[in-house]
Structure 1
Amino acid sequence: MNFIVSTSVKLSKINMKIAIKFMILFLYSLNAYSFELGVGTHLASYHKNSSFYMDIAKGMGFTSIRDEIPWQLVEVRPNIYSIPDIINKNGDVFGNIQQKYGMSGILILDYGNRLYTQGNYPSTDADIANFAKYAAWIATRYKGKVKYYEIWNEWLLGTGVPNKKNKRPSDDIYLSLVKETSLAIRKADPSAIIMTGSINPLKEQDRKWMLGLVSKGILNYIDAISIHPYSFQFKDTALQSPEGNSLEVDSFEKELKNIHNSDVPIYITEVGYPTNYLFGGFQEGRAGIDTIKYTLLAKSRNYIKGIWWYDLIDDGVSSYNREHHFGLLSNDLNFKSSAALLNEFSGLIKNSEVSMIDQSVNGQTHLVINYLGHKGNVTWDNTTSDSDFLNQLRHINHSATK
């Protein structure tokens, strides 16, 4: 009898400890969506059903995906809108992303339409009005389901425009497009978070373009700026590094704030490292370490609200096509180093507070990570081995979850 009572007391204490641990985890998880850990997808081109890929993304610890429902495919006949079979996976996921998967989504509203723009940029008031009507239909369909809308994707680069030799419309056209589209979304779904830009702030022309739009009042119509701070293409090794890259983003954010006279939320909606061996690719191991470092550095900035790694799965197998090798998973769904490390540390990334103590390009970086009530230091510089860096994170992980 005494043994049973004693054992029951011990079990109660153990259960209490477990309950407390889960309560702490729950309280931290309430803040998980304050910083999104996301991934880009190309659901329409994937071979299996959408649930298969969403389960992979959620299993890796991602809180959000980013994909598109292009205007061209939604409005094939004037003023008649539908989700065609070719993007049915996208439509299904965005319609169920919160309820079925417990995730959020960025839905990109993008590109031209042959009915009005011959597929090119919208360039007239009529084009803009028709784009806004498409956006309104989408926002009405997914009201309360899609958390984020991103207006256009890489306007400056001409992404999605069939003939990149066509002259880009004036900045006033872009400003008008953003204004009218934003107003249409707000009317359909006032709770939606709207962003635009998708620029690379490491490039001077991109910064100058966006700063000019901010001066013209673009932030009166949107909630945030989206950026794509790819650094693999720079010869400057400082810019290639997570440390140099993030410091340059800091500089851009300060310029935005100086013009806007208040804080400007930034979403990193694309960034990644190609792992092809030709034409400037990264070794898998290096890409993995830099992915974790950059994610932690991003989370240490209060103005950065999330990061979406590009992309979930390699888009091809050609050694000569760099665009085929940005995936966290290979084309045959094997985890690359970046995927394995994100999978290992996603809980720490999502449910921790990361504070910056010190950072420089060539000197030491020092972060304090508060994970489930346990504080730990993570430091590195140019002499720190990858294993030493990872062991610091694993020590925090183990101490907080044991």
Structure 2
Amino acid sequence: MLMIHRGRSCLFQSRLSGRAARSALVVLLAFSSGSYAQVKLQLVNAPGSQVTPASGKKVLRFEVLPPDIPRATKITVGVYPYDSDGKVLPTRLASYENTIGRMQDDKAFNVAVTIPRMGLFRIEATLKSPDGETLDKTTSTLAIVTKRTELGPPDFGVGTHFGQDGTPPPSVLLPLVKQAGFSWIRDDIYWDTVEKKAGVFVFPKRYDAYLALSKQLGISPLVVLDEGNPRAYPKLFSKSNFPLSPEARARFADYVDAVVARYGDNAVTAPYGGAVQYWEVWNEPDFSKISYADYAALLWETFGAIKDVNPAASVIACGGGGAGGGPGGDCVVGLIKEGALNDQSGFSIHPYMSPHTPEKGYKTEGAPIDFVNIPTVWPYLRDFTADHMKTDGRPLQVWVTEMGWPVNPKEPGQDEATQAANLVRSYLLSRRYGTVRVLFWYDFVDDGTDLDNIEHNFGLLHHDLTPKPAFVAASVLSSTVGKRAWAKALVDDESVKAYQYGTDDPVFVGWTVDGSQRVASISLPPGEYIQRDWQGVDTPVTITAQNFRWRVGPVPRYLMPARR
């Protein structure tokens, strides 16, 4: 089996087991300095409120614990901008200082700051005693992004965790999903949650809520149907969580019937009926413990159950291809050998590449492809599906239902800026090769707060819902490139990429692969242009000669005619 980066291939199980260790939303970012650990300075703005569409005055609400602090204690709030490569600049944009009285009764207070433009900003707050000693510090981020009125591009998806307990409510998260530019979410409806007693289906309110609001916002859910049900059927799952016996598969099909009848595209139950037309069968089946024949048997049952209730539905097989993500299509190859080609609308892979770049990836051994990277995997799967048409004459769809880069302090270069760069470049490269139906970034919100736990740090938002550079970069990418198809390459070498998207109203995008700043020589008609960085900040550019020398860096930049 083709395996991905070693660190990731053994980690997906920890994400699955994380359901049993659900944690409440942490909304506070704070750290204490040594001898003053008894004093806590906390930023307590409402979760999600630090992403906003308007610049200008912003109110930051702080809390001090315990509230009985010395009179004339001072708080200093510094606002720091980010540079064009996604790094925090060392020089403060502005600084604000307030004197705080004793707060025995009211422990919260406000500090007003002014944010002058679009982009991401780091907030650093320091609490000092009257004699100047530091009591505590806290840091956070605040983003100003253009308000979205339209749905994002049709190939932009992101993973969410509404199917699990303890996640932020859909009313908070889904508007942020839409603001970030995603038109799809991938989430779960767990069997053992809806059928706790054999034959009795009860759907949690959180399932109804996230699917109803997705429908209202126009966001398409890809819903994963998975996990065994030892709670309702202990004898059927005493040896494996996967439905291996005919009876276990029949009970799984009953669960599928109930779910699709409630949420499927033909369902009429308001407000969530008709919310889902796309279903994925299982998440990362472990083919070291089950066979392709086992999975093909479950796929056959599930495909029939879904199509019986909702004939227009799409059924996505492989669930990422098993441990290692199957970027070489090993899962679908195995299913085709088992005669399951026509029991699916398409298949999915999970081609994680961290800590490598999406352009270069990593070298494989004993696989049908030499490297796992977008320029290799996407064309390979495009050709594979063209060579394996279904009997109805349609090719299998290719879905990337998980792909992402964590922020990992243990890996050189795996910082928040690199995450943002890899996100934007992945979506641009994916569209350049025209293979993948939807690419889902894993995931939208950090799963925890432990910086040493790689599984906690894949999100575009921190665990308290404050934005990372990747969130802002995704929003700007979506609103700038939009639905434009890849048109041509202006520069396409190992170090620099410069691509054109769209023809009548083109957007040019340039970046470097090796993390450095370089000059790309591109041919454009002379005239007035606008350069836009990853934060959405526009700069006028005059091109006087056709051979334009464009300085680009690891986070892509955009260039477009000034008439836009």
What is the TM-score normalised by the length of structure 2?
Answer: 0.57
Q: Does 1:300 find its partner at 2:417?
A: no
Listed as ranges, the matches of 1:382-393 within 5 Å are 382=513, 385=517, 388=552, 393=557
Q: Secondary structure at the match of 1:323?
A: helix
Query: Aligned pair in 2 of structure 1 residues 259, 45: CA closer, same or farther (>3 Å)?
Result: same
Q: Secondary structure at the match of 2:502?
A: strand
Corresponding residue for residue 151 of structure 1: 281
Tell me how far 1:56 sits from its aligned partner: 1.1
Corresponding residue for residue 55 of structure 1: 175
Corresponding residue for residue 395 of structure 1: 559
Q: Does 1:122 find its partner at 2:252?
A: no
Corresponding residue for residue 82 of structure 1: 202
Tell me how far 1:181 sits from its aligned partner: 0.2
The letter of the residue matching 1:55 is P
Query: Aligned pair in 2 of structure 1 residues 205, 138: CA closer, same or farther (>3 Å)?
Result: same
Offset from partner CA, 1:221-245 (integer Å, 9 cap, x none)? 1111111110116699921599933
Offset from partner CA, 1:41-64 (integer Å, 9 cap, x none)? 112344543211111111222111
Matched residues, number: 356
Query: Aligned pair in 2 of structure 1 residues 281, 196: CA closer, same or farther (>3 Å)?
Result: farther
Tell me how far 1:127 sits from its aligned partner: 0.9
Task: Decide whether the 8 Å contact of 2:174 with 2:213 is kept in 1.
Answer: no
Q: 1:171 aligns with which of 278, 292, 295?
A: 292
Q: For the residues of structure 1 that align with 2:181 and 2:301, how far apart are their CA atoms?
A: 35
Q: Secondary structure at the match of 1:269?
A: strand
Which has the higher mean CA deviation after the structures are superposed, 139-148 or 261-270? 261-270
Tell me how far 1:137 sits from its aligned partner: 0.8
Q: Secondary structure at the match of 1:191?
A: coil
Query: Aligned pair in 2 of structure 1 residues 91, 204: CA closer, same or farther (>3 Å)?
Result: closer
Tell me how far 1:382 sits from its aligned partner: 3.9
- Which sections of structure 1, spanning at least 5 residues, go unmatched? 1-28, 158-166
Q: For the residues of structure 2 that align with 1:228 and 1:260, how far apart are their CA atoms?
A: 22
Q: 1:180 aligns with which of 280, 296, 301?
A: 301
Q: Does 1:330 find its partner at 2:462?
A: yes
Corresponding residue for residue 20 of structure 1: none
Q: Does 1:65 find its partner at 2:185?
A: yes
Tell me how far 1:347 sits from its aligned partner: 1.8
Aligned-residue sequence identity (percent) comes to: 24
Task: Decide whether the 8 Å contact of 1:95 with 1:142 is kept in 2.
Answer: no
Corresponding residue for residue 319 of structure 1: 451
Tell me how far 1:327 sits from its aligned partner: 0.5
Query: Aligned pair in 2 of structure 1 residues 39, 336: CA closer, same or farther (>3 Å)?
Result: same
Which has the higher mean CA deviation after the structures are superposed, 122-131 or 199-208? 199-208
Q: For the residues of structure 1 that align with 2:490 and 2:308, how far apart are their CA atoms?
A: 44
Corresponding residue for residue 190 of structure 1: 311
Q: For the residues of structure 2 that align with 1:236 and 1:297, how far apart are their CA atoms?
A: 8
Q: 2:343 aligns with which of 210, 216, 221?
A: 221
Corresponding residue for residue 211 of structure 2: 94
Q: For the residues of structure 1 that align with 2:217 and 2:326, how far apart are their CA atoms?
A: 39
Listed as ranges, the matches of 1:336-347 within 5 Å are 336-347=468-479
Tell me how far 1:141 sits from its aligned partner: 0.4
Q: Secondary structure at the match of 1:69?
A: strand
Tell me how far 1:203 sits from its aligned partner: 6.5
The letter of the residue matching 2:479 is G
Task: Decide whether the 8 Å contact of 1:312 with 1:329 is kept in 2.
Answer: yes
The letter of the residue matching 1:71 is W
Tell me how far 1:274 sits from its aligned partner: 0.7
Larger Rg: 2
Query: Aligned pair in 2 of structure 1 residues 289, 54: CA closer, same or farther (>3 Å)?
Result: same
Query: Aligned pair in 2 of structure 1 residues 134, 246: CA closer, same or farther (>3 Å)?
Result: farther
Q: For the residues of structure 2 that align with 1:233 and 1:210, how far apart are their CA atoms?
A: 26
Q: For the residues of structure 1 that align with 2:194 and 2:456, how far apart are their CA atoms?
A: 26
Q: Does 1:42 find its partner at 2:161?
A: yes
Query: Aligned pair in 2 of structure 1 residues 109, 307: CA closer, same or farther (>3 Å)?
Result: same
Corresponding residue for residue 141 of structure 1: 262
Offset from partner CA, 1:268-288 (integer Å, 9 cap, x none)? 111111102126782111111
Q: For the residues of structure 1 that align with 2:285 and 2:326, how far apart are their CA atoms?
A: 15
Query: Aligned pair in 2 of structure 1 residues 391, 349: CA closer, same or farther (>3 Å)?
Result: same
Q: Secondary structure at the match of 2:509?
A: strand
Q: Secondary structure at the match of 2:221?
A: strand
Q: For the residues of structure 2 that align with 1:122 and 1:219, how far apart are their CA atoms?
A: 20
Offset from partner CA, 1:134-180 (integer Å, 9 cap, x none)? 111111101222021001000027xxxxxxxxx72321111010111
As a proportion of its length, which structure holds more helix?
1
Corresponding residue for residue 119 of structure 2: none
The letter of the residue matching 2:559 is H
Query: Aligned pair in 2 of structure 1 residues 376, 348: CA closer, same or farther (>3 Å)?
Result: closer
Corresponding residue for residue 112 of structure 1: 228
